[in-house]
Amino acid sequence: DIRSLGCEEKRELLATIEQAVAFVTTMIFQDGSSQLSSEQVLTSSVKGVVVLVKNQTDHPCPPSYSSIDYTWNAANENDKLIYLKTEWSSLWEQEQQAHKKFAWQVLFQMLHCKVPIICFNAKDFLRTLLQVYGNEISWKQVADSVVLDPRIAAWLINPSDTVPSFESLIQKYFEKPFSMGTVNTDTGTLRNASVSTLKLFFLIYLYQYQNLRVNLEKLYNVMRYLARDLQVQGLWKLFCTLELPLIKILAVMETHKIHVNTQELKKTSDILGLRLKELEQEAYQVAGGQFLLTSSSQLREVLFEKLKLHVLCEKVHRTEIQQLVSTSEVVLNKLQDLHPLPKIILEYRQVHKMKSTYVDGLQTCIRKGFISSTWNQTGTVTGRLSAKQPNIQGISKHPVRITKKQYIKGKEAEIVTISPRTLFVSKKGYSFLAADFSHIELRILADLSSEPELLKLFQEPETTDIFSTVASQWKGIPSEEVKHADREQAKRIVYSVVYGAGKERLADSLGITPLQASQFIESFMQKYKKVHEFTKKTIEQCRNKGYVVSIMGRKRPLVNINAQDYKLRTQAERQAVNFVVQGSAADLCKMAMVEIFTSVVISPTLTARLIAQIHDELLFEVEDSQILEFSALVKRTMESLQQTTALEVPLKV
């Protein structure tokens, strides 16, 4: 505990840190739990930080990906365990101020000496430091720290297992050696002993403290094991140059708050609520009775048992599990001419989604007028990021038009357009800047397949509209005769190939039969033969190795690729193709994030901050005076990834 240290001892501690080969660390919460406890309470605030200082002199080697021979030391007789309190009740007391300052000094030195900091959920650790010392430091100061997160390592080795806790990580990688769970729980026996309350608390404190030391040792050993495994599997470079730098970027992103126009939010909620009431009444009228519009089972009853609309319609889509007639958008679209109800339901659903998810749902995420999403780096199997509370990646793009019946005298009707993205407002003197890769997945498909027709499409600068050109090429009609419907169809087919979608899903999205859909896919593959070769090669490779690989070497094992069951096997085949394209796109987008972050950190003037990543799009908040300079930097950096990754196809931003 640094509070018990004298002046000389503090100097010694800083010297020890200077010589450290690694730090193993965890946050401690008010309730006594840590980042290593499975029952992590999110509501409990942070009390302090415990650091195990690995202090060997033999092999001081940073985790540079070039040093494959990276050796770790497991011996621990020289290791120091330090406790840094980060929460202070009364800041005006001089003694406490001194402690806070010294704690910060220790952490600052840890972050800047380029010695690896090992932490389970490192992003939360960094974000907390940024929040606690927000007044003392700028976000740029976490940039040169080297953090290692074993959870991310485990996810990289197999993205299918999420590793929900530290305990599960230990169980997975050291199945028997340690007996987890038994160490942690038994404080009841202490309570029965006839000791004073003070002594009891001291014993519990000491007990947890020792337990923590053991767990931090385990964490270090797991990381050691995982590092070796990453190197063996060829994932070390990806880990060090992409995923680890990303931890800091996400931590910084989570500390940034986006302002929301709460008045407008309230107003639109009311408008949408009124419109829902109107639609509800209209639906009851044409249905000839009341029912719950949000219930698909009740709607199914009305549409198909009461009105018997499906008999007039051939081949309607069924639900996945129960194989009932679906009430989804595609089915409702087909039923539109038979009855007025489907159209009303479609509008109701659109408005309801808007209200519940993007307006009322957003409101629950707002704290003091601001929102900031939580980013999950290990939440997907494809290498993408995911976001929650709010899911900023899923916020509706297209506006919804509402014809508002004016209840105030005067105007009779008013058309209001509601687009949720406009509810976010930038800081004063700043603007939002969005930069997105144009058709990134299709470009990657072109590169991976080396399909000449597809490559030509992107290499020739006269191509203005990719999907119109594909439609004209594929159907063999002049580009002037390509209609909107042709373009839309071409787009859907292209992406069903890119995403590896099957005939069923394409059929649904186009409103055609699976047979017609498979014919479309076949004729597409006939035209672009190399694309077909690519999918065949990918599946074949997956069958042999048991996994597929993205352009940056990201892996996805697919155990079902050799399954007997047709459904399981073909699903794995589509997942294999999809992973290579989607995963490679994720690689590129993450690389762009890292490079832009580095440029901004190096620059003494640039202040632009990343706000969100919507897969192929990066959203920044930029000082108005820096927009031109920064947007040029972003565009240049993103497009130059073609050379960095040696792509055949140019990238366009």
Partner DNA sequence: ACGTGGACGCTACG
Partner DNA sequence: CGTAGCGTCC
Does position 537 interact with DNA (CB under 7 A)? The reply is no
Q: The tokens of 487 are what? A: 């373009």
Smallest distance, DNA to C-beta of residue 518, A: 14
Residue 16 or residue 319: which is nearer to DNA going by CB?
319
Q: The tokens of 175 are what? A: 């199945």
Does position 393 interact with DNA (CB under 7 A)? The reply is yes
Residue in 251, 395, 457, 601 binding DNA, rule: CB under 7 A: 395
Sole window of 51-59, 111-119, 217-225, 390-398 interacting with DNA (rule: CB under 7 A) = 390-398
Q: Using CA atoms, how far apart are residues 253 and 520, in angstroms rounded to an integer?
A: 43
Sole window of 60-68, 238-246, 402-410, 495-503 interacting with DNA (rule: CB under 7 A) = 495-503
Does position 37 interact with DNA (CB under 7 A)? The reply is no
Smallest distance, DNA to C-beta of residue 113, A: 35
Residue 390 preceded by cis peptide, ω within 30:
yes
Does position 162 interact with DNA (CB under 7 A)? The reply is no
Contacts of residue 643, Cβ cutoff 8 Å, sequence gap at least 6: none
Does position 343 interact with DNA (CB under 7 A)? The reply is no
Does position 559 interact with DNA (CB under 7 A)? The reply is no
Residue 509 or residue 599: which is nearer to DNA going by CB?
509
Smallest distance, DNA to C-beta of residue 484, A: 18
Smallest distance, DNA to C-beta of residue 46, A: 23
Residue in 19, 158, 184, 391 binding DNA, rule: CB under 7 A: 391
Return the DSSP state at 190.
H
Given the structure tokens 């997160």, which residue do they identify? 149
Q: Using CA atoms, how far apart are residues 81 and 608, in angstroms rounded to an integer?
A: 38
Residue 16 or residue 380: which is nearer to DNA going by CB?
380
Write out the binding residues for DNA, residues 606-635 only, by CB under 7 A: 614-617
Q: Using CA atoms, how far apart are residues 491 and 551, in angstroms rounded to an integer?
A: 24
Residue in 27, 33, 502, 503 binding DNA, rule: CB under 7 A: 502
Contact at 8 Å (CB) between 260 and 363? Answer: no
618, containing H or E segment: strand 617-623
Sole window of 221-229, 373-381, 526-534, 535-543 interacting with DNA (rule: CB under 7 A) = 373-381
Sole window of 36-44, 45-53, 62-70, 383-391 interacting with DNA (rule: CB under 7 A) = 383-391
Q: Residue 576: is it exposed, middle or buried by C-beta count within 10 angstroms (0-12/13-18/19+)? A: buried
Pick from 424, 371, 108: nearest CA to 254: 371
Contact at 8 Å (CB) between 22 and 115? Answer: yes
Sole window of 13-21, 110-118, 347-355, 407-415 interacting with DNA (rule: CB under 7 A) = 347-355
Smallest distance, DNA to C-beta of residue 576, A: 9
Given the structure tokens 């900031």, which residue do they identify? 372
Site map for DNA, 280-309, x if CB under 7 A?
A: ------------x-xxxxx-x---------
Does position 380 interact with DNA (CB under 7 A)? The reply is yes
620 CB neighbour count, 10 Å cutoff = 22
Q: Using CA atoms, how far apart are residues 142 and 57, in angstroms rounded to an integer?
A: 26
Residue in 321, 413, 415, 485 binding DNA, rule: CB under 7 A: 321
Smallest distance, DNA to C-beta of residue 318, A: 8
Pick from 248, 115, 226, 232: nearest CA to 170: 226
Does position 386 interact with DNA (CB under 7 A)? The reply is yes
Does position 357 interact with DNA (CB under 7 A)? The reply is yes
Does position 349 interact with DNA (CB under 7 A)? The reply is yes
**In Å, how far are 136, 189, 273, 366, 592 from 604, measured between CA atoms?**
18, 58, 49, 33, 20
Residue in 31, 161, 282, 329 binding DNA, rule: CB under 7 A: 329
Q: Using CA atoms, how far apart are residues 569 and 560, in angstroms rounded to an integer?
A: 6
Does position 582 interact with DNA (CB under 7 A)? The reply is yes
Contact at 8 Å (CB) between 83 and 2? Answer: yes
Residue 70 or residue 499: which is nearer to DNA going by CB?
499
Residue 234 or residue 394: which is nearer to DNA going by CB?
394
Does position 327 interact with DNA (CB under 7 A)? The reply is yes
Q: Using CA atoms, how far apart are residues 177 and 424, in angstroms rounded to an integer?
A: 51
Total residues at interface with DNA (CB under 7 A) = 59
Contact at 8 Å (CB) between 249 and 143? Answer: no
Q: Using CA atoms, how far apart are residues 452 and 457, in angstroms rounded to an integer?
A: 9
Q: The tokens of 561 are what? A: 């690729």
Pick from 581, 653, 651: nearest CA to 617: 653
Sole window of 91-99, 306-314, 372-380, 643-651 interacting with DNA (rule: CB under 7 A) = 372-380
Q: Using CA atoms, how far apart are residues 433 and 611, in angstroms rounded to an integer?
A: 10
Does position 158 interact with DNA (CB under 7 A)? The reply is no
Q: The tokens of 246 are what? A: 């990303």
Smallest distance, DNA to C-beta of residue 292, A: 5
Does position 39 interact with DNA (CB under 7 A)? The reply is no
Residue 211 or residue 328: which is nearer to DNA going by CB?
328
Q: Using CA atoms, how far apart are residues 445 and 531, in angstroms rounded to an integer?
A: 8
Length in residues, the chain: 653
498 CB neighbour count, 10 Å cutoff = 20
Smallest distance, DNA to C-beta of residue 260, A: 14
Residue 348 or residue 597: which is nearer to DNA going by CB?
348
Does position 513 interact with DNA (CB under 7 A)? The reply is no
**Degrees (nearest 5) of the Cα angle 64, 67, 114?**
30
Does position 336 interact with DNA (CB under 7 A)? The reply is no
Residue in 81, 286, 316, 346 binding DNA, rule: CB under 7 A: 346
Q: The tokens of 337 are what? A: 């001419």
Residues that bind DNA (CB under 7 A): 292, 294-298, 300, 319-322, 324, 326-329, 332, 346, 349-350, 352-353, 356-357, 360-361, 364, 376, 379-382, 384, 386-391, 393-398, 499-502, 505, 571, 574-575, 578, 582, 614-617
